[in-house]
Structure 1
Amino acid sequence: MYRQGLGDCLLVRIPGQGRPFWMLVDCGLILGTQNAAAKIKEILADVTAVTGGRLDVLVVTHEHWDHVSGFVLAEAEFKALAIDAVWMAWTEDPKDKLATQLREEREEKLRKLAAFAGNLSARGLAGEPVVQGLSSVLDFFNMGFGAAGASTKDALVKARECLRGEKPVYWRPTDPPLVPPRAPCVRIYALGPPQDEKAIKKTFAKSEVYHLGGTGNPLFQADKRAMDPTGPWDAFCPFDQDVGVMLQPLLDRPQPSTVAPDPDPLRDFLERHYLDADPSLDTARGWRRIDTAWLGPAADFALALDSATNNTSLVLALELVESGKVILLAGDAQVGNWLSWHERTWPIEGRTVTGPELMARTVFYKVGHHGSHNATLQAKGLELMTSGDLVAFIPVDEAMARQKGWNQMPLPSLVKALKAQTQNRVLQADRDFEASSNPESQAFARSLVQTPLYFEYTIQM
């Protein structure tokens, strides 16, 4: 796992005939990362050196900037590689009717969201937490305002061009598993995305995801400094204390007057309970303002669009044929994608392999969507990974996530669950691994190679 920042890039080496079988899974950084091009080019220099300049497969999981920007930022370096195949999900197939419909819907909604965010900024609302959150979600797509005007769509075109005229392979979950001729020690399954519009648009399930601590969605955490920190919760407040937030006031505070105003009970009530928004005052009540509450649906809409795109992730399970161990590369799959794996079956050598069985034998899990709350399921996901040898890699940079306003990325409760399930064998890209006192964690540390550029872990066949 490369440690470039908030973005995915994994290099998988599988024993092959004559030389290793090399698979690069995604290559990107979130929009706004400093020195992004230099960081990506450093990765490509390493990839070129260790692979001898040749990849058997380039896997592109889905169309988000933090997964695909490298194909633009290091275009020349990718073109210099010899790449034998590019794998994408069926959702990127230009000949698939449902895929075309989903792409067109997404592009239309993105254009409207970008225009909406631009209009709000022009009206002086750019500082609103909801507007900032909306802009941060749009960064996953990059509408063409960064990286020399390139967009995620342009990045996919660059990835396809790596094949020099050959066509990508568009994986479907109904495809039979593949045993690469050069690497017969591995069997590769496509678990997702599901070929079902409803499943792709299912991005949340209250009983299945790891829940947020505190309040609200991490993408849209409002400033809570003005909440009354003392005494009982205000009886006038129509909301529970754990969801009260301050909205940035849009109206100027009344200027003091030298003339005493006439008594006005309504004005006095509003002053006491709504208009005093100065967080430094004991009487502050700005958190009760709802001036910009109408922006909430736009935030929800943006999140739904972002999650549905995550749900189009190509999810691969690499089964080591001899031992049955499984490497799970989940992209940024969310609820509908995960749930669909439970319906997957494949006839293999006189028996039936199922999606839940592959999860049960998983020894390596690339954690989805940088450890977000709805990209790893509980009972139908992580809790099924009971091999006893599980290791988890989280490609995340917490400082960058907080800069974007994603204050619970990775989600603490998910990280805690991962550590429990893996016996503390969890790697996070933005920090060196420190072993705990248990023997499993210490043995893992000894087997791990960690440099400022990458973590490397070897799974015994």
Structure 2
Amino acid sequence: MANVPTTLTIFAYQVGFGDCFLLRFGYPSGMRHILIDFGTTGLPEDTAADQLTRIARHVAATCGGRLDAVVATHRHADHISGFATNPGGTAPGDIIRKLQPKVVVQPWTEELDLAVDARAPSPQAGFRAALQSMHQVAEKAVGFVNGGPPGLTEALKSQLRFIGEDNLSNKSAVLNLSTMGGEQRYVYHGAKSGLEKTLPGVTIHVLGPPTLEQTGSISRQRSRDPDEFWQFQLRRVKADADASTAAKARPAFPSQVAARGGKLPLGVRWLASRLRQARGEQFLAIVRALDKQMNNTSVILLFETANKKILFPGDGQIENWQYALSQPKTRKLLESVDVYKVGHHGSLNATPRSMWNAFSKKGPKSRKGRMTTVLSTRPDKHGSVEAGTEVPRTTLLNELGAHTDLHSTHLMAHDKLFDQIEIPL
């Protein structure tokens, strides 16, 4: 039948720590192409500097100069930085824009006309004000580190810079996404995806994010007042960041801890260094909470054909998943998933244990129709093995490798542009 896809090809692009997937649904009448995310916050070290441009050109060539849809799961840089533009019109985002996608799908929190106190898509009415303050916190975090505060370990500064930069507002990419499509769809749990006409014969289930009227779980990282927490944190960190930026002097031996103490006696200046380290660790705790909060706005899509189910959850974490998994119908749908794009680059709390245990198609290599998993990640960018927070998480990787057909970009040669995965439908 002309209106039912018979094949799915997934192009998993090498973006290091980030996501970029092109889905090509094959119909007897032709191909349909959907780009899901396009960004990075850390290419592999020996990857070409123009990697995102190369990817954009490959996407353009593969789809024949016309995309059917773009899905930007959330606004973290590792998911949308590739959509950025430049005045000369030569940036990767300019190339994607020229492909004139018919539909652009984003989470409801990205609707630019949404009121700052909105708790759900317009015209319902406070999550958006918090998101704006969160970006300002990220800016302060980057400024704090770049100001060269003495007494911070290199590991702490690296984590602050990485998470802070990932949470910057990515204004160019955000604006490009908001205007590039023929139709803009801002989705939430249970909403129509806007992809129905693009993908005939495919049912698209939007499983996340929920609105704050559906559940408060996605705002659970905030304090009692959901509208004030990030504004409060912004005030809290502003003085530290501004003071750090103002202190431009560099020590003679920058790799060593500088025990500056102002007028403190020489013998107790070590205490000032310890206090500065503690301040940095508190700052890191704030931006980690910010990072998790933004992930909880991620779009979660389940594509269902007559014979296959394909799950793309972006970076949705447990607070995002909680509402979907509370629905018996959704839990039943997820049991028979055939293809799973591993959430949040392989972090443990983005693959809920209850969901993983319920997947019925995982099993040994000898199992016919074994589940396929697809992962885009870079091991050395986020978290630490010592703290048990490394991404991708070793225990999860072991499970994926043992019980599914795992395709991961961190296992690819760095000079390979993409992994091509064929899924018969």
> Could you say whether these structures have the same fold, taking a TM-score greater than 0.5 normalized by the shorter chain as the test?
yes
Give the shorter-chain TM-score range: 0.7 to 0.9
Separation in 1, partners of 2:374, 2:18: 12
Residue 184 of structure 1, CA deviation: 2.7
Match for 2:342 among 360, 367, 376? 367
TM-score w.r.t. the length of structure 1 is 0.67
Gaps of 5+ in 1: 143-150, 205-247, 254-266, 277-285, 346-353, 434-449
Other-structure match for 1:168: 184
State the one-letter code of the partner of 1:312: T
CA-CA distance at 1:432 after TM superposition: 3.6
**Correspondences of 1:25-424 after superposition (within 5 Å):** 25-30=36-41, 38-72=50-84, 73-96=91-114, 97-98=118-119, 101-115=126-140, 117-119=142-144, 121-125=147-151, 127-142=153-168, 151-163=169-181, 166-176=182-192, 180-181=196-197, 183-196=199-212, 198-202=216-220, 249-251=257-259, 292-320=277-305, 322-323=306-307, 325-344=308-327, 354-379=329-354, 381-388=355-362, 389-401=370-382, 408-422=390-404
CA distance in 2 between partners of 1:177 and 1:297 (Å) = 39
Q: Deviations over 1:367-415 (max 9, x none)?
A: 1111113211112x21121124211111012245589x99722110111
- Deviation string for 1:163-213 (max 9, x for gaps)? 2xx441111212257773453321101000011262113469xxxxxxxxx
> Following the alignment from structure 1 to structure 2, what is the Cα–Cα distance between the partners of residues 102 and 179?
26
Distance 2:327 2:13 in 1: 31
Cα deviations by residue, 1:297-324 (Å, 9 ceiling, x for unpaired):
221111111011011000100011x22x
SS at match of 2:374: strand
Residues 49 and 335 of structure 1: CA distance in aligned 2, closer, same or farther (over 3 Å): same
Equivalents in 1 of 2:323, 2:183: separation in Å? 27
| Aligned residue number for residue 348 of structure 1 | none
What SS does the corresponding residue of 2:349 show, helix, strand or coil?
coil
CA contact (8 A) 2:314 2:344 kept: yes
Q: Is 2:416 the counterpart of 1:452?
A: yes
Whole-angstrom CA distance in 2 between matches of 1:179 and 1:57:
7
Paired amino acid for 1:426: L
Letter in 1 for 2:391: M
Contact 1:177 1:190 in 2 (8 A): yes
Partners of 2:356 and 2:292 in 1: CA distance: 19
Whole-angstrom distance in 2 between the partners of 1:451 and 1:130: 30
> 2:240 matched to which residue of 1?
none
Structure 1 letter corresponding to 2:76: H
* Alignment CA distance shift 1:119-1:172 (3 Å): closer
Once the 2 structures are TM-superposed, how far is the Cα of residue 357 of structure 1 from its aligned partner? Answer: 1.6
In the superposition, relative to structure 1, how do residues 178 and 110 fare at CA in structure 2: closer, same or farther (>3 Å)?
Answer: closer
C-alpha distance in structure 2 between counterparts of 1:391 and 1:453, whole Å: 20
CA contact (8 A) 1:398 1:430 kept: yes
> Would the aligned equivalents of 2:14 and 2:417 in 1 still touch at CA under 8 Å?
yes
| CA deviation string 1:251-272 (max 9, x = no partner) | 379xxxxxxxxxxxxx9xx9xx
Shift in alpha-carbon separation, 1:298–1:182, aligned structure 2, 3 A: closer
Q: Contact between 2:24 and 2:34, CA under 8 Å: does it hold in 1?
A: yes
Distance 1:175 1:116, change over 3 A: closer
What letter corresponds to residue 24 of structure 2 in structure 1?
A: R
* Residue aligned with 1:88, SS: strand
Question: Residue 423 of structure 2: SS of its match in structure 1?
Answer: coil
- Code of the aligned partner of 1:43: I
Percent of aligned pairs with the same residue? 26
CA distance in 2, matches of 1:5, 1:67: 11
Cα deviation for residue 362 of structure 1 reads 0.7
Task: Output the CA distance in 2 between the equivalents of 1:334 and 1:411.
Answer: 14
Q: Secondary structure at the residue paired with 1:382? A: helix
Separation (CA, whole Å) in 2 of partners of 1:185 and 1:103: 35
Deviation of residue 16 (structure 1)? 3.4
Q: What are structure 2's unaligned runs of at least 5 residues?
A: 1-11, 85-90, 223-255, 262-266, 363-369
How big is each residue's C-alpha offset from its partner over 1:68-97, in whole Å with a ceiling of 9 and x where there is no partner? Answer: 111114132112213111111112123442
Runs of 4+ residues deviating >6 angstroms: 32-37
Per-residue CA deviation, residues 324-368 of structure 1 (Å, 9 max, x unaligned), is x210001000011111112347xxxxxxxx211221111111111
Task: Decide which structure has the larger Cα Rg and report it.
Answer: 1
Could you tell me how far apart the structure 1 residues matched to 2:421 and 2:69 are?
Answer: 20
- Partners of 2:417 and 2:221 in 1: how far apart? 33
Q: Is the 8 A contact 1:177 1:189 kept in 2?
A: yes
Q: Please, what TM-score do these two structures have when normalized by structure 2?
A: 0.73
Please report the RMSD computed on the Cα atoms of aligned residues, expressed in angstroms: 3.4
Task: Name the count of aligned residue pairs.
Answer: 350
Q: CA deviation at 1:107?
A: 2.4
